[in-house]
Amino acid sequence: MNMNKKAQSIELLCLFYVIIELVMNIDVICVGKLKEKYWTDAVAEYSKRLGRFCKLTITELAEVKLPDNAGPSEEAAVIKAESENIMKKLDGRGSGSYVVALDVLGKQKTSEELAGFISDLALDGKSTIYFIIGGSLGLSQELLGKVDHRLSFSKMTFPHQLMRVILLEQIYRAFKINNHEKYHK
């Protein structure tokens, strides 16, 4: 293949990714509201950047209050209630959607693998990807059993507010990778 045809092929591939990703919806469903300005500023920045590539929706669900000195049964009740609220948001989702739960026990991916994962979902006709971030106690086994994929960013535990920023940054990085655009490492 001569260089001119190769350059044209790369250009068409980039255009193809842009077309696919512009019709892609990224819905982040998370438990809890961001209160601190530094978190809201970071989320706003990545939301703005992602606007070039997809339609981003962030749905914040109320945290269920955990009583002081709560025991395992009260914690389990909070996890169940928060997970049920998430499942209600997923009710009626179409066949063109895919649900990813952030879970410390999920599959870890490099940034390049996440980019490929998102690209493959788009090519498979998944126009909406739901990313679920649970509350501070996590997600129920019932909910985790219903999702399409469990994704882990690390074996470590992060505050769910920080996780929202990390997730948006990695989604943004994935779109930049898929579009062969430069982004700092």
Q: Are 55 and 26 in contact (CB under 8 A)?
A: yes
Can you list the pairs that 113-119 forms with residues at least 24 positions away whose Cβ atoms lie under 8 Å?
Answer: 114/151, 114/170, 114/171, 114/173, 114/174, 115/173, 115/174, 115/175, 115/177, 115/178, 117/174, 118/24, 118/171, 118/174, 118/175, 118/178, 119/17, 119/20, 119/174, 119/178
- Tell me the per-residue pLDDT of 132-182, one tens digit each, with 9 for 90 and over: 999 999 999 999 999 999 999 999 988 889 999 999 999 999 999 999 998
| Domains, in order of start, for the chain | 34-63+78-178 (3.40.1280.10)
Tell me the average pLDDT across 78-83.
Answer: 97
The pLDDT > 70 percentage for the chain reads 88
165 and 46 Cβ atoms separated by less than 8 Å: yes
Q: What is the DSSP string of 80-120?
A: HHHHHHHHHHHTT--TTEEEEEEEEEEEE--HHHHHHHHHH
| E strand or H helix at 145 | helix 141-146
| Number of C-beta neighbours around residue 64 at 10 A | 18
- List b or e across 125-136, with b for residues whose CB sees 16 or more CB atoms inside 10 angstroms: ebbbbbbbbbbb
> What is the chain's mean pLDDT, rounded?
90
In this predicted model, what pLDDT tens digit does every residue of 17-38 receive, in sequence order?
545 444 799 999 999 999 999 9
**Would you call 25 helix, strand, or coil by DSSP?**
strand
Classify 56 in phi/psi space as left (phi over 0), alpha (psi -120 to 50) or beta. Answer: beta
pLDDT of residue 94: 84
**Cα–Cα distance measured from residue 31 to residue 34, given in angstroms and rounded to the nearest whole number:** 10
**CB within 8 Å of 184: residues ≥ 6 apart:** none
Kindly report the pTM of this predicted structure. 0.86
- With CA atoms as reference, report the closest residue to 56 among 152, 164, 161: 164
